Amino acid sequence: MDVHAPYRYEQLADLVVDMIDKGTLSAGMRVPSVRAISEQHRISIATALQAYRMLEDQGILVARPQSGFYVSNARHAAFALPSTSRPRAKASTVSISGVVATLLEHASNMSLVPLGCAVPDVGLLQSKRLDFTLARLARQHGSRHNVYSPPRGEPGLRREIAKRSMRMGHALSPEDVLITSGCTEALTLALSAVAKPGDTIAVESPTYFGLLHTLEVLGLKALELPTDPARGVDIAALARLLGKEPVAACVLSSSFNNPLGSAMAEADKRSLLGLLSEHSIPLIEDDVYGDIHFGRDRPKPFIALAQGAGKVIYCSSFSKSLAPGYRVGWIVPGAYSQQVLARKLAFSLCSPVLPQVAVAEFLASNAYDIHLRRVRRVLEENLTRMVRAIEASFPPETKVSRPAGGFMLWLELPKQFDSRALFEEALEHGICFAPGDVFSASRRFRNCLRLSAGHAWTERIDAGVRRLGKLARAQLGR
Amino acid sequence: MDVHAPYRYEQLADLVVDMIDKGTLSAGMRVPSVRAISEQHRISIATALQAYRMLEDQGILVARPQSGFYVSNARHAAFALPSTSRPRAKASTVSISGVVATLLEHASNMSLVPLGCAVPDVGLLQSKRLDFTLARLARQHGSRHNVYSPPRGEPGLRREIAKRSMRMGHALSPEDVLITSGCTEALTLALSAVAKPGDTIAVESPTYFGLLHTLEVLGLKALELPTDPARGVDIAALARLLGKEPVAACVLSSSFNNPLGSAMAEADKRSLLGLLSEHSIPLIEDDVYGDIHFGRDRPKPFIALAQGAGKVIYCSSFSKSLAPGYRVGWIVPGAYSQQVLARKLAFSLCSPVLPQVAVAEFLASNAYDIHLRRVRRVLEENLTRMVRAIEASFPPETKVSRPAGGFMLWLELPKQFDSRALFEEALEHGICFAPGDVFSASRRFRNCLRLSAGHAWTERIDAGVRRLGKLARAQLGR
């Protein structure tokens, strides 16, 4: 096992974050050069660079060619980071589907200011090229594609997804990939392949409420893990828990988890893989936000770091970055290939053909990389604007996450704050957001909330965030 | 309860079937007029007409306006009907996914003569109008539809499906309908909503192997019910079994079950509903073949006969009659609305939007009824041709089903016949079909096979059936 005291580069990175938090370094400022810092701290240039690269991966710094490292615009020092969660060290049954259904209903209500739903909107995604590809395929080859797809999915799409896996540092063959109805089906296939009703699944805390809902439907229990808003799951805490609680599987975000946007360092990911492998616990990873990184490189998912050792099931989709309406996701089931295929046949037999071949053709054209660059830039700008609006309106005690990717912010308010009451009040003002307690099986985080910046930034959205901040202030002042 | 001795009209219908079986009445012949038969048998004209109408519903007779009733061309007297199945009266665990996966792989192999897969081919479905609708929607409104669909599905599609429910004699509102990924997801949602692992589900015998596969994946046991190739499930036998075995749900085809093509009389459906209601057992009905009826009227599904009494979950799709590649199905969950919605969210969140809106627009245009008339005619002709090819080539002891709808034939050969051996031999000759044992949890029916007539009839297919017949003769002669 590999749970360690902080390395030198981690200590340096902590120091830089601390300086940003305290306002010594502010957004847009150049940080000391690698050479200067290595001399100051008497560390090697390689170590200094490693620290900066990690902060870049986390979106805290931005590298500018021939110029050096700068504090990212998305980073702000005005508000502190939310605290690391401390859930109780015991698995709990999940009973959340009622509140999830209510939230989804409000989140899809177009008349509300859309801060509630975790999907970029159509105005931001600009999917015209993909839609035209679909149109041409339907017109020219519609009948040919009016058949059942092979159960694993269209070979052309599986090939393109396998080709793209090089970008995340892991070579896949088309045979490794099975197409799903979004990441939702992928996660459900994975969970039902590795666990049976009554089993316990370890999850981040807070975590995506859709995952909690799936645990409930499958009759699984949730063991919530202490999770840091920047660095993700606390590995030492996980190590202690695994000694006590039987865990059937662990579900983690590869990068930029929903709602925290946290990003584990590669070294931490490796430690975690070692720990799980030691206990023979399969890891199900959800990499649906991995393509929306603000740092230079795409963070490596667990599957790339495991390199065949340990049991990793990889799940992702194009819903957050390209085409939520197409419902194209995929799973790399590894050792669970037969179990996952059997479940895919029973759950949906196969996925619709035309959306699959359209996405395959879009990927083959390299248009996706150009598309991603634009989407990342827009989403990072949205987050910067949202942080500004929060700082201008929310109570000064508010803590805000600093995601290095994705498009969600997690806000923590003082303990007595009631985000449920704010939710009801906000709906009356025509604003939707996600109250904190839907992100926890044990209904923690009532003093927290998630805001989504997935919509093209408008006056209406800006005003919505500010109104929310005022309502929060008023509640705390009462 | 309502398990009864045969009614007068049923006795008369039996007599007519017997005359067809014995060759007294042959395909295309006019049967005695209603008036003549009522005088001969001293029954009322209404009773005689009821018998003929039932036979028409079953596709055995065809009504010609101003002329009378004729023996359907799809009916043949040369070969007898397969026997009513007599499975053991005990639930069994299911272990079939291996053979199902192998069969599906062969069935999707385009180089084989396609007698194996239960889906009409693209040449026969002629989906161009639907594909063009999809193309136009993608081109003109692609971005607008690049969003998550509401979890229950696109409102426009749910409205059109509700409107069409009038044709099956049952008024639905759009709120009653939830869109699924084909009938497969509908059945899985229904089963997981009403049953938990270890529970027993009563099914037809033989039944669709996909259903057996789903039971296996969900950890459910199968209780196979004696089933008649023409009249469907034996209600008296079901009544006896329900007294002995605890049953969590019953899954039945509404009409033209796969593989028998059997069709229960309305009176029998009512008796069965009464029986299940008495035992508080929910009925999950699979009506995926209901639109492909050869008789004049669409047979009423159970949900239309139950009229709110009893717990019926209705499942269907457009895969057998319009668009297998679109994966658009639906479920009417009735009393299980909340449970089914919760599972839909966990299984696939929602279905892709563009295929849904394209099917909705196609349905709204009334093009579907014109399309269905053509598809029914072609499939009935295919079956007639297939029966001819079977009679000309298979051993004379072969028994063949006479479906009143759908596009499958069920062949029963003498007990010593081994359809698995024929399957292996046929593959070597480039022919695929479905061996009988995949249609039973207890792996009965090894002397049976299913042939699909879902492909446009060609010389190649005709020759394939005849070759199969020769191979079967050779095996029995050895």
Is B101 in Cβ contact with A342 (below 8 Å)? yes
Do B199 and B339 reside in the same domain of the chain?
yes
Residue A123 banded pLDDT, cuts 50, 70, 90:
confident
Mean residue pLDDT across chain B = 92
Predicted confidence (pLDDT) at residue A1 exceeds the cutoff of 50: no
pLDDT tens, residue by residue, A186-219: 999 999 999 999 999 999 999 999 999 999 999 9
pLDDT, mean of residues A222-249: 94
CB B237 within 8 A of CB B86: no
Res B4: pLDDT = 63
CA-nearest of A140, A323, A138 to B133 is: A138
Using CB atoms, which residue from B122, B134, B217 is nearest to A144? B122
Which B residues in the span 191-220 are in contact with A, Cβ-Cβ below 8 Å?
Answer: 192, 196-197, 210, 213-214, 216-219
Helices (H) and strands (E) in chain A, counts: 17, 17
Last residue of a domain, one of B335, B368, B401: B368
pLDDT, mean of residues A386-393: 94
Strands A399-400 and B329-332, by their bridges, are unpaired
Answer whether A346 touches B (CB < 8 Å).
yes
pLDDT tens, residue by residue, B378-416: 999 999 999 989 999 999 999 999 998 999 999 999 999
Is A181 in Cβ contact with B351 (below 8 Å)? yes
Res B411: pLDDT = 98
Q: Where are the alpha helices (DSSP H) in A155-265?
A: 155-164, 182-194, 209-217, 235-244
- Phi and psi based region of residue B431 (left: phi greater than 0; alpha: psi -120 to 50; beta: remaining): beta
Res B119: pLDDT = 87
Lowest pLDDT segment from A391-400, B20-29, B422-431: B20-29
Lowest pLDDT segment from A70-74, B34-38, B74-78, B460-464: B74-78
Is B210 in Cβ contact with A349 (below 8 Å)? yes
CB B334 within 8 A of CB B304: no
CA torsion, points B108, B103, B119, B417, in degrees to nearest 10?
130
- Identify which has the larger pLDDT, B19 or B270: B270
Predicted confidence (pLDDT) at residue B308 exceeds the cutoff of 60: yes
Do B66 and B108 reside in the same domain of the chain?
no
Tally of CB atoms within 10 A around A364: 15
How does A349-361 read in b/e, with b if 16+ C-beta sit within 10 Å? bbbbbbbbbbbbb
Do B211 and B284 reside in the same domain of the chain?
yes
Do B152 and B168 reside in the same domain of the chain?
yes
Res B197: pLDDT = 95
Residue A254 banded pLDDT, cuts 50, 70, 90:
very high
Using CA of residue A323, residue A327, residue A330, residue A331, what is the dihedral sign?
positive
Which residues of chain A have a CB within 8 Å of the CB of B184? 345-349
Res B366: pLDDT = 82
Predicted confidence (pLDDT) at residue A310 exceeds the cutoff of 80: no
Residue A225, domain extent: 127-366
Do A159 and A114 reside in the same domain of the chain?
no
Which residues of chain B have a CB within 8 Å of the CB of A109? none
Residue B264 banded pLDDT, cuts 50, 70, 90:
very high
Using CB atoms, which residue from A121, A219, A351 is nearest to B327? A351
Q: Cα–Cα distance between A356 and A364 in angstroms, integer?
A: 12
Predicted confidence (pLDDT) at residue A166 exceeds the cutoff of 90: no
Do B345 and B239 reside in the same domain of the chain?
yes
Answer whether B155 touches A (CB < 8 Å).
no
Residue A443: both structure tokens together: 């209904």
Which residues of chain B have a CB within 8 Å of the CB of A124? none
Predicted confidence (pLDDT) at residue A26 exceeds the cutoff of 80: no
Q: Within a domain: residue A89?
A: no
Number of domains composing chain B: 3
Q: Within a domain: residue A241?
A: yes
Do A382 and A328 reside in the same domain of the chain?
no
Which residues of chain B have a CB within 8 Å of the CB of A175? none
Alpha-carbon distances of A321 from A257, A325, B369, B465, rounded to whole Å: 15, 11, 39, 50
Do A387 and A353 reside in the same domain of the chain?
no
Q: Within a domain: residue A88?
A: no
What percentage of chain A has pLDDT greater than the value 70? 97
Alpha-carbon distances of B50 from A104, A194, A202, rounded to whole Å: 51, 55, 63
Q: Within a domain: residue B87?
A: no
Using CA of residue B44, residue B50, residue B52, residue B55, what is the dihedral sign?
negative
Last residue of a domain, one of B368, B397, B413: B368
Answer whether A110 touches B (CB < 8 Å).
no
- Identify which has the larger pLDDT, B308 or B2: B308
What percentage of chain A has pLDDT greater than the value 90? 70
Residue A167 banded pLDDT, cuts 50, 70, 90:
confident
Give the CATH number of the domain where residue A352 resides.
Answer: 3.40.640.10
Q: Within a domain: residue B88?
A: no
What percentage of chain B has pLDDT greater than the value 70? 97
Q: Cα–Cα distance between A216 and A201 in angstroms, integer?
A: 11
Using CB atoms, which residue from A117, A139, A342 is nearest to B135? A139
Q: Within a domain: residue B395?
A: yes
Do B439 and B325 reside in the same domain of the chain?
no
Do B244 and B200 reside in the same domain of the chain?
yes
Res B2: pLDDT = 46
- Cα-to-chain-centroid distance, residue A471: 28
Res A4: pLDDT = 63
Q: Cα–Cα distance between A455 and A453 in angstroms, integer?
A: 6
CA-nearest of A50, A45, A39, A58 to A11 is: A50
Do B214 and B362 reside in the same domain of the chain?
yes
Q: Within a domain: residue B91?
A: no
- Which of B148, B286, B338 is most worth mutating to test chain A (most A CB atoms within 10 A of its CB)? B148
Give the CATH number of the domain where residue B28 resides.
Answer: 1.10.10.10
Res B160: pLDDT = 96
Alpha-carbon distances of A28 from A71, A384, A457, B380, rounded to whole Å: 5, 12, 21, 73
How does A312-340 read in b/e, with b if 16+ C-beta sit within 10 Å? bbbbbbbbbbbbbbbbbbbbbbbebbebb
The complex's ipTM works out to 0.85
CB B299 within 8 A of CB B167: no
Shortest Cα distance, chain A CAs vs residue B239, angstroms: 29
Do A383 and A470 reside in the same domain of the chain?
yes
Answer whether A125 touches B (CB < 8 Å).
yes
Q: Within a domain: residue B3?
A: no
Q: Cα–Cα distance between A220 and A223 in angstroms, integer?
A: 10
Is B126 in Cβ contact with A327 (below 8 Å)? no
3 state DSSP class of A329: strand
pLDDT, mean of residues B452-474: 96
Predicted confidence (pLDDT) at residue B170 exceeds the cutoff of 90: no
pLDDT tens, residue by residue, A210-224: 999 999 999 999 999
Residue A136 banded pLDDT, cuts 50, 70, 90:
very high
Last residue of a domain, one of B353, B368, B383: B368
Is B326 in Cβ contact with A184 (below 8 Å)? no
Give the CATH number of the domain where residue B406 resides.
Answer: 3.90.1150.10
